[in-house]
Amino acid sequence: MSAARSNDQQPTKPGIHWRPILVTLFNHSILILFTVIIVYPVLWMILASFKTPGELVSNTWGFPSSPAYENYAVAWDKAKLGRALLNSGIVSIGAVLVVVCLSSIAGYAFAKFSFRFGTVILLIFVFTMQAPVPIIPFYVLFVRLKLTDSYLGLILAIASGTIPLSIFIFQAFFRSIPGELREAAKIDGCSEFMAFLRVVMPISGPAVATVSILTFVGAWNEYFMPLLLIRSDELRPLTLTIQVFFLQFGRAEWNVIFATLSIASIPMIVIYVFLQRWFIRGLTSGSIKG
């Protein structure tokens, strides 16, 4: 479907070539249309978070006449968003640390050592990673280990889901690192593990970034695990806080709801826009080879 390009390559006569111009115009108009359809609800949400309840109905489409900043103050206090942001931050960063540490070490072993049951263990990961966990035994396990209602429990619950994919990402990356590097470090007297820590990890930024983004976005947006495992108000992450707040006040105070939604999404959207290449690569890395 590279019609635009094919026309450029054909022998040209002097004068204006209408067809490629029309094709380009068509492409842009379709893409702009879809961009508007996709992005508009998010923009609208941010605009609506600055409206008064009356304006939300009377002036649905336009800009707020004077921004109602108090929506944010009310949202912050009533929904206890400060605490929720802190909880989400702790759990997401904790999950990133656990997943990056455990799966980089394991990925390195799978990439560089050959050992008897290596393939078998990899196959166990492959065949079980996409299986939905039965929630009853999962929940009962957390109750018996006294890991419900704790940061650690939530971190481990989320990490255990992303470890296999992360191991595969690290393994593929470490395979591409030349073996001489590791040999040189070992000749200098480093143990295998020190060579990994001091020589291999410092040049593994791309793999660390991919796994970190994948895990962080997943953990930040995770809803089901906290729904299952978190009981007390103080430990609720952002997702669960918003949903509980929505159930309590949503029908009456939509403008405040939109303020909570904006607080929850704007940080992620801003980081995404700045690091979009990394985000897109990280979030689709499980599905695209290389």
Partner 1 sequence: MTSQPMNSPAKTLARRFSKLSPYLWILPALTVYAIFKLYPLVSGLQMSLLRWDGIEDPKYIGLRNFEKILSDPMTGTVLLNNAHYAVGTVVGKIVLSLFLAILLHQALKGRTFYRTSLFMPVVMSFVVVGVLWSWLFNPQFGLINSFLRGLGLDFLVQDWLGDAAVALNSLILVDIWKWYGFHMVIFLAGLQSIPDELYEAARIDGASVWQQFLHVTLPMLQPVMIVNVTISVMGAFNVFDIPFIMTAGGPANATNVMALHIYIRGFKFYRFGFSAALSYVLLVIVTLVAAIQLKLMTSGDNND
Under rule CB under 8 A, which residues in 175-234 are in contact with partner 1? Answer: 192, 217, 220-221, 223-224, 228
Contact letters (x/-) for partner 1, 4-43, by CB under 8 A? Answer: xxx-----------------x--xx-xx--xx--xx-xx-
**Runs of H (alpha helix) within 113-150:** 118-128, 135-144
Question: Closest Cα to residue 155, out of 208, 211, 89?
Answer: 89
- Kindly state the smallest distance separating residue 161's Cβ from partner 1, in Å: 7
In the complex, minimum distance from the CB of residue 206 to partner 1, in angstroms, rounded to a whole number: 16
Give CA–CA dist 286/184, Å, rounded: 32
Whether the CB-CB separation of 275 and 283 falls below 8 Å is answered with no
Task: Give the containing element (helix H, strand E) for 48.
Answer: helix 18-48
Q: Which of 15, 132, 178, 202 binds partner 1 (CB under 8 A)?
A: 132
Distance CA 281, CA 146 (A): 37
Find the part of the chain contacting partner 1 (CB under 8 A) among 62-70, 74-82, 134-142, 198-206. 134-142
Of 139, 151, 249, 278, which lies in the binding site for partner 1, with binding defined by CB under 8 A? 139
Report, in Å, the least distance between residue 178 CB and partner 1: 16
DSSP-based three-state secondary structure for 150: coil
Q: Considering only the C-alpha atoms of the chain, give the largest distance between any 2 of them, rounded to a whole number of Å.
A: 80
Among 47, 239, 253, 259, which residue interacts with partner 1 (rule: CB under 8 A)? Answer: 239
CB 202 → partner 1: shortest distance, Å? Answer: 18
Q: Which stretch binds partner 1 (CB under 8 A): 69-77, 78-86, 200-208, 261-269?
A: 261-269
Q: Under the criterion CB under 8 A, does residue 242 sit at the interface with partner 1?
A: yes
Q: Which is nearer to partner 1, 13 or 231 (CB)?
A: 231
Total site size for partner 1, rule CB under 8 A: 91
C-alpha closest to that of 150 among 162, 158, 261, 212: 158
User: 165: closest CA among 198, 97, 212, 204?
Assistant: 212
Q: How far is the CB of 70 from partner 1 (least distance, A)?
A: 20
Instruction: Return the half-sphere exposure (C-beta side, CA atoms, 13 A cut-off) of residue 30.
Output: 6
Residues from 78 through 117 that contact partner 1 (CB under 8 A): 98, 101-103, 105-106, 108-110, 113, 115, 117
Instruction: Determine if 151 is a binding residue for partner 1 (CB under 8 A).
Output: no
Decide: is 3 part of the binding site for partner 1 (CB under 8 A).
yes
User: In terms of CB distance, is 61 or 66 closer to partner 1?
Assistant: 61
How far apart (Å, rounded) are the C-alpha atoms in residues 262 and 270?
Answer: 11
Instruction: In the chain, count H helices and then E strands.
Output: 15, 0
